[in-house]
Structure 1
Amino acid sequence: MPQPASTPEPSSSVPGAVHRLVDGPGGRIHLLEQGTGPLVLMIHGFPETSYSWRHQLPAVAAAGFRAVAVDVRGYGRSSAPDDVDAYRLTALVGDNVGVVHALGEETATVVGHDWGSPVAANSALLRPDMFTAAAMLSVPYAPWNPMRPTEGFARIGGSEEFYVSYFQEPGRAEAEIDPDVRGWLAGFYSALSADTMPPPDGASPFFVPSGARMRDRFPRGPLPSWLTEADLDVYSAEFARTGLTGGLNRYRNVDRDWGDLAVWDGARLTRPSLFIGGALDSSTTWMADAIAAYPRTLPGLVSSHILEGCGHWIQQERATEVNDLLTGWLHTVHA
């Protein structure tokens, strides 16, 4: 089988990792690859890229695995289709299938963070023959339920607008992001980081008053301890080049996902799984019921961990701890 094409290393180079471009159902997929052994496919969230796995790639490779982190479609150097509905969950699962085939493999363990978590979970749910285990970071697994997502998000907001609702209209969020991509990213990362997030009794950036912008409530001050100026340069350079529409289009497909996955109503994820969340992460608190339901919804769960004092960017905030939990789990499911 022909090998995926190697590409010149960009400014976001991760030492020891090889950059490749492979063909997927939606166009090209850019990925970082390091190590040999069973394939471990890592899926980032919003607003990130394959660079967010820079601490995990060498650790997973050193543990005896072929570690691969992709740029999800719409991000980095992967293709960015114009149609909003090209970013539905089933399409991203299809991209994962395409990557596994392009790498000459038959199976993979899939690991996802943030939006990558439901992409990973649904990869194992829809294609358990290929994705034989799934790790979910920050966003818990929750089976399909009868409430249309946009209706549920509208209820969460109350008198203010929940950020997922704010993201629904194409161009609206882009209008506040594009004039200062670096500043917007710094504020968004800070708002969900343990050492820079607003106090619990403060105004949340993830609820937007009428006529306001998300960034109006972003923290102002030093960067989170996990994010260096150089790291922020990498992210901001990528998104200044591509824009954030591809990532925002993931939010704009929640109702399409709901329709696509209705046949999986209440489905349990039976493949071996792992969950790691941050105790200070709003995803963990908003979805506490989903975590409590794991004995029923994740019968293959190997272990679940809530890291005290940790925010949302878990594999970057607490890289060593996440690496230990992740590689220990990988050795368990590949024993």
Structure 2
Amino acid sequence: MTEAGLRGLLAERLEAAGDLPPEWRKAYDTDPDAWWESVYSDASLITQADDGAGDPATGEGSWTSSLSAPGAVFASLAHLYVHDGQRVLDVGTGTGWTAALLSARLGDEHVTTVEVDPAVADQAAKNLAVSGRSPHLVVGDGALGHAAGAPYDRVHATCGVQRVPWAWVEQTRPGGVIVTPWSPGWAYGHLLRLTVGRDRTVGRLVGSAGSMMMRAQRHPAPDRLGDRPEHRTTPIDPRDVAWDDYGADVAIAALVPGVVSTTTSEGDDTMEVRVWDGDGSWATTGYRQGRRGFAVASHGTRRLWDEVTDAYLTWVEWGRPARDRYGVTVTGEGQQIWLDTPDHVIGPSSPA
């Protein structure tokens, strides 16, 4: 099949899934970008490991830059509700593909894209040149935005954040929209759509978004196992806590500040959850087929797994609210997570 045929096949698949709005179809189809051959499947492609020190082809190390799956990109762009002539700040240039799409949709002069890694930015500039697009490419910390190009009508991020940078709000017009992956640390991330107000910026969670973290906001690495962990059991099946619902994930993230987690499994036979806070506290638990009870090993000043299960049961007692009932408020002082309305704040506020 020809390149054009493959591109059209993917476009039809994305449209059928509702991930490619009509206004973005033209930008997609008219992009002559030479590196389309690597993205004809709806999958993410890893383009950097260990901040450039590793080789992504080996599958080893930490993934630090990627080309996001087309379906995820278009779903995120759709939440921008962008209009002709509006100015967009694109945070996390990566390969340059999202910036190229925005430029094709709005015009090069209306797009500013920021990339923290000079080597990644250099390759993005080459990719953009091949595609015939020339947005304003800035090498710098995306958390700072790019004040020289402000004010923007829209801010679109492709990297995850724990806290929405206040600079993004300051550089966006009142009524403007910010769309970003929001990854507080517990479980999978969420897509957050915010609207800038007068004194505060408010928005809701609108979907899933598993993205690599902004370098300035990476989660702490797992703590080493302590020499003398405490061993006990828990009556709660960790599979219920870790795999129940995205709404539970938001509640746990809000009610257990600073918690970070990883979950691994081997089919239906084995699963393990590890949680930590970056200050020396950690816990592990899991399920093993044929084993009675659920063992917990923990260390540090916090009983993190107890905090997590308490938060999970609180969510159950709230009536199991779904993810779309949660939102985030951002001010110059910090960030709050709320349920149903901005006045119903859950958990402590996070500083700016």
Q: TM-score, normalised by structure 2?
A: 0.29
Query: Hey, which of these two has a bigger chunk of helix by percent?
Result: 1
Q: TM-score, normalised by structure 1?
A: 0.30
Query: Hey, which of these two has a bigger chunk of strand by percent?
Result: 2
Look at both structures and tell me which one has the larger radius of gyration over its CA atoms.
2
